[in-house]
Amino acid sequence: METIPWWHEAVVYQIYVRSFADADGDGVGDLEGIRGRLPYLSELGVDAVWLTPFYPSPMVDGGYDVADYRDVDPRFGDLAAFDRLVADAHARGLRIIVDLVPNHTSSAHPWFRQALEAPPGSPERDRYIFRDGVGDEPPNNWHSVFGGPAWTRLPDGQWYLHLFAPEQPDLNWRNPEVHQEFLDILRFWLDRGVDGFRIDVAMGLYKAEGLPSVPPEAEGMRADAPMWGRPEVHEVYREWRKLLDGYDGDRMLVGEVWTDSAEDLARYVRPDELHQCFNFAWLEAPWEAAAFRTVIDDTFAALGAAPTWVLSNHDVVRHVTRYGEGSLEPDAGLARARAAVLTMLALPGSAYLYQGEELGLPEVTDLPAEVRQDPTFFRTGGEVPGRDGCRVPIPWSGTRPPFGFAPEGAAEPWLPQPPEWAELTVERQLADPASTLSFYRRLLALRRELAGSLPPGIAWLETPEEVLAFTRGPLTCVLNCGDGPVPLPAHREVLLASGPVTGGELPPDTAAWLR
């Protein structure tokens, strides 16, 4: 019998390392902190953990500015701590995925320092994208994703490209040395036992020959932009796939690919390329049954039976807050968030959860300017608040910050936690069977229990416009996005509901699993 690779139906928990758990008391999360919380993750019922970058970094972009791809930043621990974490996770049956950042390095990376010292036209500069300007103007009109121009000028007159912060110079993937270096970095972590890699900005890497300017209306991460989704990038993933296939144990690659369509996404997961891509379509959809139905249909049509599902990550507003926007009901955001995850986890494929969503954490929207750290905030003059609000350290226990995030007497957490999170700590929620955490634990346990009986496809049920309902083998899932209660489809038993269900009716903003 053909065995299904572990990642096909896995629930992967994303750990934003700086904000998960701080063991050494410096106010920043670390690898030992994560190791100490592995029992929590096992009991939650996830299959794998994705760790955001923990490599040596000046932290201009929260570690996505990597200065050394083969080490651990002292803030987070060291390689021995990493090895202990992998060993303990594996002993519990939890897989470890690490983040790989191939589009750019940190400006503190030795390669970039060498490039700054070397003259224009040198092999050192050829590892990055240095160009002469047009008079006093940059080589083209590209913008940084974080705001402002994508070029910075050096005293010798040349400019270098950075699609993100100036401290994140883009690598030149047309240089074979870059390919060799990343193959070697992959080997380094594969040999240390990692189960997979999350590929940062996987639709980046290559830029169109000649670096043509873009018409302003074509900006953004469109598939046909000269800096995203170039055909050459697929050769990189074929190279990497070959390397991974030479290792035992189902190692995998999951790409961060922002596209306009599921068809574009599908190009990255051809059989000899990445194993998975994040499917951000649901995350981008409004709270409407019709929109979710389209996302699900398009996803299966383009990506087959083992896609991925995502509601939140460290780059977007937490979905409790997103779903609450525009609703008059004060608790609509949380109710919808619970209903969305219940629906999503009924679907074939794997799911990526973002730390804290199992606690129903909202976005922290009122962080003062002086504590903010996201370069987006600074590069837009504060116009775009940035992503700090979804990165606030996790509340574990107690009634006052740091809520068990750090030991007694530790430095203040790197971002302040709202005092009202006393209500949302893990400790509080474990004691409450109606809490969001208890709901997630029941949900993941039930998903595991049913796994063997669920086929890789779904069938839609006839429903009113604002309701979504489908069967997957013995399981029926129904979601009510409308304003009033609706009758539940025929069933013998309500297995789990995201909110109270009585009298055979499903209230608004609620989902249920039926049998």
Q: Which is nearer to ligand NOJ, 144 or 463 (CB)?
A: 144
Beta carbon of residue 203, minimum distance to ligand NOJ (angstroms, whole number)? 11
The site for ligand NOJ (CB under 6 A) is made up of 61, 64, 101, 164, 200-201, 256, 314-315
Q: Which is nearer to ligand NOJ, 201 or 497 (CB)?
A: 201
User: In the chain, what is the greatest distance between 2 CA atoms, to the nearest angstrom?
Assistant: 76
Q: Which is nearer to ligand NOJ, 35 or 162 (CB)?
A: 162
Calpha distance 74→72 (Å, rounded):
6
Beta carbon of residue 234, minimum distance to ligand NOJ (angstroms, whole number)? 19
N- to C-terminal Cα distance for the chain?
28
Q: Are 311 and 292 in contact (CB under 8 A)?
A: no
Sequential DSSP letters for 387-432: SGGG-PPP--SSSSTTTTSS-TTPPPPSSPPPGGGGGG-HHHHHT-
Residue 23 sits at φ, ψ, to 5 deg, of -85, -30
Query: Is the preceding peptide bond at 402 cis, omega within 30 degrees of 0?
Result: yes
Annotated active-site residue in 30, 99, 170, 200: 200
Identify residue 322 by its one-letter amino acid code. Answer: R
Q: Are 11 and 95 in contact (CB under 8 A)?
A: no
Beta carbon of residue 103, minimum distance to ligand NOJ (angstroms, whole number)? 7
Calpha distance 39→43 (Å, rounded):
6
Beta carbon of residue 256, minimum distance to ligand NOJ (angstroms, whole number)? 6
Q: Are 73 and 56 in contact (CB under 8 A)?
A: yes
Calpha distance 353→350 (Å, rounded):
10
Beta carbon of residue 18, minimum distance to ligand NOJ (angstroms, whole number)? 11
Calpha distance 69→66 (Å, rounded):
6
Report which residue's Cβ sits closest to ligand NOJ: 64
Query: Which string of b and e fits 495-510 if b means at least 16 CB within 10 Å?
Result: bbbbbebeeeebbbbb
Spell out the alpha helix ranges (H) of 246-286: 262-266, 281-284
Annotated active-site residue in 9, 65, 167, 256: 256
3-class DSSP string for 77-118: CCHHHHHHHHHHHHHCCCEEEEEECCCECCCCCHHHHHHHHC
Q: Which is nearer to ligand NOJ, 89 or 201 (CB)?
A: 201
Spell out the alpha helix ranges (H) of 246-371: 262-266, 281-284, 289-303, 319-324, 332-344
Residue 151 sits at φ, ψ, to 5 deg, of -125, 145
Q: Are 64 and 171 in contact (CB under 8 A)?
A: no
Helix (H, G, I), strand (E, B) or coil at 213: coil
Beta carbon of residue 209, minimum distance to ligand NOJ (angstroms, whole number)? 23
Beta carbon of residue 66, minimum distance to ligand NOJ (angstroms, whole number)? 9
Chain mean position to CA 506: 31
Instruction: Note if 200 is an active site residue.
Output: yes
Beta carbon of residue 246, minimum distance to ligand NOJ (angstroms, whole number)? 28
Calpha distance 213→246 (Å, rounded):
41
Beta carbon of residue 314, minimum distance to ligand NOJ (angstroms, whole number)? 6
Q: Which is nearer to ligand NOJ, 169 or 418 (CB)?
A: 169
Catalytic residues: 200, 256
